[in-house]
Amino acid sequence: MSKKIQNIIDKQGFVLADGATGTNLFNMGLMAGDAPEMWNVEHPDRIIKLYQGAVDAGSDLFLTNSFGGNASRLKLHNAQNRARELSRISAEIGREVADKCNRDVVVAGSIGPTGEIMGEVGTLTHEIAVEMFEEQAQGLLEGGADVLWIETFSAPEEYAAAAEAMNNVGADWCGTMSFDTAGRTMMGMTSADMTKMVAGMDFSPFAFGANCGVGASDLLRTVLGLSEAGADRPIIAKGNAGIPKYVDGHIHYDGTPDVMAKYALLARNAGATIIGGCCGTMPEHLAAMREALDNTPKGEKPSLDMIAATMGAFSSDNDGTGDAPMKQPRRNRRRAIRSQH
Amino acid sequence: MSEEQDDIILSELSDDELVLQMYDDLYDGMREEIEESVHILLNRGWVPYDVLTKALVEGMRIVGIDFRDGILFVPEVLLAANSMKGGMAILKPLLAETGAPRLGNMVIGTVKGDIHDIGKNLVTMMMEGAGFEVKDLGINNPVENYLDELEAGEYDILGMSALLTTTMPYMKVVIDTMVEKGMRDDYVVLVGGAPLNEEFGKAIGADAYCRDAAVAVETAKEYMAKKHNQMSA
């Protein structure tokens, strides 16, 4: 139920979400290329530790270890028949951790993209996508997830398919996209486009926003874009803790807890209500974010210049909102007009 | 719809006009028009290699520039690449017959645990378009897949792609195994994928990180030119 999230917003003005799943699991021994979802069964103790780490650091909401738990992704590990089961268990473990906590903690069932392409040049049909998302959603609900959480999407078609699946199973949900290509999603969607899309959906999310992508500055620019396009519901910000680096055999994200605390405050000032981290965000980052959000009043909306000055330069000059760069000007002659035969 | 009344009749355009029109048609992802134009140029006596390089490759280079600059995005580039593919399908058998020059041979694949192949497919198409021979191993490749293929053929370049935090370190597993087997220096290793960056590519021992398909082509060409110079020196 999204009511749980609303209650927390009403009480403290924001929701602190969780941090990274992959980075945390790597630190517990996950090997590159292996499916994190298998650990729900093979190492439930480590999944408890993952969730508990976020809760103990002050998160009001955490995502289940089910990001790649759809049939399309699990197929790589010959586990395409286990989407519902692995998703259910990820939520059951989450429920256990949340219910033991002496404050309200929301279990959000993570649903990542299928990894396949939809639309004109794609291979995945709308019907099959809906079916896959529905299967995973059912598992997550059976396991006791409070809300479902679509994340890291880049195609509007896939977001719509997931929305339909959420509606089919009667789940409250939130949904974020990843703006990693010149400030847009890989498929070219701008932040303003997303606000418009979500407002016009038949089956719309409780909250929407951005996760992952290319570092904190870009993510904050996206949040500003979502907000300024007239967001009519809570905005989610889940940015990476800096940029990935390879240090001593491990992936290390270079954002410090202090940097993530600044990011959290800027995200709130930029219009986000549900704030967390993505790749590289560890419990110590979350604790610093909690401390900052609790002890700092909400401030004025930051300008792009201020974001760049605090968090570093953007990855691209613009993000497709406002004065976007134009497609190649046509040569000065008549364009072909194709009649549809 | 536009007010223009007449369709452009491709076969009535001069060679120069037609090639310019092909750039536009590639940019707009119009496969049938590209196929038709390729046939027209061939019928006019163009050698297949010129159709490839002067029309298709140049057209895709323009697409690549706007992709790099954040003006075109994946859906448009996929359509453009699909049109290019249509033209290539006509030219490929002819190029084989005429013994057109090959720039180099590449093995490419998405690493173990990773399903994402959009970027890799784009690189494959753009590399082929630029005159490379590419063996695409698809998604979810364990280290053996890469090494077996490299050993089975005559390759110059290994390309790896990863889109997830949980899969990108696997590229290092592959490179480390190549080092162990003493074959690392026989190949140019290029890596790519949204979460990567140049520093990461260097740290895991790749020759270069390529931020997109257009950069991959340029980088591969540079390395091939270097290799060529070394051999003739």
pLDDT in tens, A269-294: 999 999 999 999 999 999 999 999 99
Sheet holding B188-192, edge to edge: B132-136, B104-110, B157-161, B188-192, B208-209
Cβ B172 vs Cβ B27: under 8 Å: no
Mutate to test the interface with B, among A181, A245, A251, A333 (most CBs of B within 10 A): A251
**ipTM exceeds 0.90:** no
Q: Is A212 helix (H, G, I), strand (E, B) or coil?
A: strand
Is the predicted pLDDT of residue A111 greater than 60, yes or no?
yes
Cβ B85 vs Cβ B44: under 8 Å: no
Task: Please give the mean pLDDT across all residues of chain A.
Answer: 93
Is the predicted pLDDT of residue A266 greater than 60, yes or no?
yes
Find, among A1, A7, A17, the residue nearest to A272 by Cα.
A17
Find, among B77, B187, B175, B198, the residue nearest to A244 by Cα.
B198
Residue A7: which pLDDT band, with cuts at 50, 70 and 90? very high
The pLDDT value recorded for residue A335 is: 46
Is the predicted pLDDT of residue B210 greater than 50, yes or no?
yes
Task: Name the percent of chain B lying above pLDDT 90.
Answer: 55
Phi, psi (degrees; rounded to nearest 5) at A40: -55, -30
Is the predicted pLDDT of residue A341 greater than 70, yes or no?
no
Highest mean pLDDT, choosing among A219-228, A331-340, B126-135: A219-228
Is the predicted pLDDT of residue A324 greater than 90, yes or no?
no
Q: Give the amino acid at B19.
A: V
Q: Which residues of B touch A183 (CB under 8 A)?
A: 70
Non-local CB neighbours of B85 within 8 Å, separated by 6+ positions: B31, B125
Is the predicted pLDDT of residue B206 greater than 60, yes or no?
yes
Task: Please give the mean pLDDT across all residues of chain B.
Answer: 89
The pLDDT value recorded for residue B2 is: 46
Q: Which residues of B touch A20 (CB under 8 A)?
A: 165
User: pLDDT digits over A58-79, tens only?
Assistant: 999 999 999 999 999 999 899 9
CA angle (A116 as vertex; A115, A118 as ends), nearest 5? 135
Task: Name the percent of chain B lying above pLDDT 70.
Answer: 97
> Could you give the CA distance from residue A200 to residue A174 in angstroms, rounded to a whole number?
15
The alpha carbon of residue B98 is apart from the nearest alpha carbon of chain A, in Å, by 32
Which string of DSSP letters, residue by residue, matches B173-231?
HHHHHHHHTT-GGGSEEEEE-TT--HHHHHHTT-SEE-SSHHHHHHHHHHHHHHHHHHH
Query: In the predicted model, what is the mean pLDDT of residues A144-161?
Result: 97
> Could you give the CA distance from residue B66 to residue A324 in angstroms, rounded to a whole number?
13
Cβ contact B165–A243 (<8 Å): no
Cβ contact B115–A121 (<8 Å): no
The pLDDT value recorded for residue B129 is: 75
Mutate to test the interface with B, among A76, A185, A218, A339 (most CBs of B within 10 A): A76
Q: Which residues of A touch B140 (CB under 8 A)?
A: 76
> Could you give the CA distance from residue A58 to residue B47 in angstroms, rounded to a whole number?
68
Query: In the predicted model, what is the mean pLDDT of residues B221-227?
Result: 91
User: pLDDT digits over A205-215, tens only?
Assistant: 999 999 999 88
Residue A329: which pLDDT band, with cuts at 50, 70 and 90? low
**pTM score, two decimals?**
0.89
Is the predicted pLDDT of residue B146 greater than 60, yes or no?
yes
Residue A327: which pLDDT band, with cuts at 50, 70 and 90? low
Find, among B24, B9, B92, the residue nearest to B58 by Cα.
B24
The pLDDT value recorded for residue A245 is: 85
User: pLDDT digits over B44-55, tens only?
Assistant: 999 998 998 899
> Could you give the CA distance from residue A263 to residue A241 in angstroms, rounded to a whole number?
9
The pLDDT value recorded for residue A336 is: 45
Is the predicted pLDDT of residue A340 greater than 90, yes or no?
no
Q: Which residue has the higher pLDDT, A207 or B120?
A: A207
> Could you give the CA distance from residue A50 to residue A30 in angstroms, rounded to a whole number?
12
Pick from A33, A184, A188: CB nearest B112? A33
> Could you give the CA distance from residue B215 to residue B193 in angstroms, rounded to a whole number?
12
DSSP state of A322: S
Residue B1: which pLDDT band, with cuts at 50, 70 and 90? very low
Query: In the predicted model, what is the mean pLDDT of residues B185-203?
Result: 91
User: pLDDT digits over B61-118, tens only?
Assistant: 888 888 888 899 888 988 998 898 899 899 988 987 877 777 899 999 999 988 788 8
The pLDDT value recorded for residue B3 is: 45
Cβ contact A188–B196 (<8 Å): no
Block residue for tokens 């980052």: A285
> Could you give the CA distance from residue A37 to residue B222 in angstroms, rounded to a whole number?
41
Phi, psi (degrees; rounded to nearest 5) at B167: -115, -20
Report the DSSP beta bridge partners of residue A277: A239
